[in-house]
């Protein structure tokens, strides 16, 4: 249903480096690069993640209540994505762990990128 998501950035080179590092943990690589608009994906036709400077020329801001969730294949990958994000300069919004009742199997970690955009990496399933 979702083709791709986009977040704005005010420091395009730093944001590219951040997402090259973080999304690589999920098998993501650059699938499109148009100078000031880059898309990462895992396979042709799969949903992608992109960054850009705002087209209207104004400052990029993060949305209050807006979050993008990145699906991981297992709990260990959630941990790797979170660790990569923090090591690359992101900030913690919730360390990796079970959310809700253990029986739901929802394991997630939350972080913000260099521009304040909130993301999470999650896995649904058994440990």
Portion of the chain with pLDDT greater than 70, in percent: 100
pLDDT 10s digits, 7-22 = 999 999 999 999 999 9
Position 44 scores a pLDDT of 85
The stretch 100-113 carries a mean pLDDT of 95
Whole-number Cα distances in Å, 10 to 56, 98, 116, 127: 13, 33, 11, 38
The stretch 94-111 carries a mean pLDDT of 95
**At 127, is the pLDDT very low, low, confident or very high (cuts 50, 70, 90)?**
confident
pLDDT 10s digits, 56-79 = 999 999 998 899 999 999 999 999
Inter-residue contact 92 to 72 (CB < 8 Å)? no
Reported pTM: 0.92
The full set of domains in the chain, from first to last, is 4-54+66-124 (3.10.180.10)
């Amino acid at each position: 249903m979702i083709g791709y998501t986009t977040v704005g950035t005010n420091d395009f080179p730093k944001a590219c480096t951040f997402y090259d590092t973080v999304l690589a943990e999920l098998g993501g690589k650059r699938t499109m690069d148009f100078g000031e608009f880059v898309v990462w994906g895992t396979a042709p036709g799969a949903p992608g993640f992109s960054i850009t400077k705002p087209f209207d020329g104004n400052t990029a801001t993060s949305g209050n209540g807006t979050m993008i969730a990145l699906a991981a294949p297992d709990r260990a990958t959630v941990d790797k994505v979170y660790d990569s994000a923090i090591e690359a300069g992101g900030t913690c919004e919730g360390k990796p762990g079970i959310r809700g009742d253990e029986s739901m199997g929802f394991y997630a970690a939350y972080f913000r990128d260099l521009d304040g955009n909130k993301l999470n990496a999650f896995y649904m399933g058994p440990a």
